[in-house]
Amino acid sequence: MASFRRRSGRWQARVFRNNQPEIVNTFDLRADAERWARAIQREIDLGIYLPRNDAEIYTVDTVVRRYLAEVVPLMRGADTEAYRLRNVLAQLGELTVASLSPQVIATYRDNRLKAVAAGTVLRELNSLSSMLNHARREWGVGISNPVVGVRKPTAPQGRSRRLEEDEERRLMEVLCGGRVRNPWVKPAVQLALETAMRRGELLSLQWQDIDVAKRVAHLHVTKNGCTRDVPLSLKACEVLAGLPRSIDGSVFPVTKEAFKQAFSRACSNAKIADLHFHDLRHEATSRLAQRLPNVIELAAVTGHHDLKMLQRYYHVSASDLALKIG
């Protein structure tokens, strides 16, 4: 059980254990004192409580919420990172940071694997690890990173979904036939297939970043954090030439969520199952690989830093290789 009392303008929390010294901590707010006491009591009930020092002050809830407020908004994938950390918060929020051990993290991993895919769990563990490292380095939270000592789920193989025969035709028929009201989906799909640009790269594209004469689109921010110049095919230039100019300078003046819903609706109307917009990047890269056998040139177009990632885009048959080697 726990008790709380006001002392010298602050709140003192005391947690009592049978035949054991009481655990005491002091906070500015009663709510923080109650949260800490609940976390300590839960650890005692689970049998994982160990005497510690200042790290007892911080619950996972406290650290996650501060990280969400101060650090996550500065990330490019802020929404996704926040979503992952809220999943962590739902499972571990009431524990103190100091109680996080490899055993606790392993239990979290195993429980999450029962509900979501291994790739999701792996990304959540990476987010948790980054947060704990930041808390230790920047905020002085005295704890080692327990995620480091835990076996990680095997990373799943990347999707290799390509447009099957007739799917592209059906998709374009839907987009051209007015069955999807959002007018930006069709040109975005066409440009994605011509340039292998990601959805975020397309939606962030500005008219001032396009040099029609040189047939180049300049990307200021990409997934890997580097700028990139994307060569534009003649068809890509034709698509861009047919677009109206938005007053704010955006090539595609549409929100990510609105675009996502419109693309999903188009796939449904075209009776195309399990097609993500990012799959168009895979399709485009595979097509470009046929025209650009030099992997360095292909990487310059797609922006891949790891050349091993590009190996799966070269769909060369053994019979073709036999003809080449003579």
Q: What's the mean pLDDT in 212-222?
A: 87
For 68, other C-beta atoms within 10 Å of its C-beta total 17
Looking at residue 264, its pLDDT comes to: 93
Q: Which residue has the higher pLDDT, 52 or 117?
A: 117
| Domain assignment of residue 294, yes or no | yes
| Domain assignment of residue 272, yes or no | yes
pLDDT in tens, 265-324: 999 999 999 999 999 988 998 888 888 877 788 888 888 777 767 766 665 667 766 777
| Domain assignment of residue 199, yes or no | yes
> How many separate domains does the chain show?
1
| CATH (domain of 307) | 1.10.443.10
pTM for the full predicted model: 0.65
| Domain assignment of residue 319, yes or no | yes
Report residue 188's pLDDT band, with 50, 70 and 90 as the boundaries: very high
| Domain assignment of residue 252, yes or no | yes
| Domain assignment of residue 144, yes or no | no
| Domain assignment of residue 271, yes or no | yes
| Cα–Cα distance for residue pair 49/294, rounded to 1 Å | 58
Looking at residue 86, its pLDDT comes to: 93
Q: What's the mean pLDDT in 66-71?
A: 92
- Per the structure, the complete domain to which residue 198 belongs is given by 167-325
Q: Is 85 helix (H, G, I), strand (E, B) or coil?
A: helix
Looking at residue 252, its pLDDT comes to: 94
- Active-site residues, by number, are 198, 223, 278, 281, 304, 313
Report residue 36's pLDDT band, with 50, 70 and 90 as the boundaries: confident
Looking at residue 226, its pLDDT comes to: 75
How much is the mean pLDDT over the chain?
86
| Cα–Cα distance for residue pair 47/42, rounded to 1 Å | 8
Looking at residue 313, its pLDDT comes to: 67
Per cent of the chain over pLDDT 70 is 91
| Domain assignment of residue 140, yes or no | no
Nearest to 56 by CA among 30, 38, 31: 38
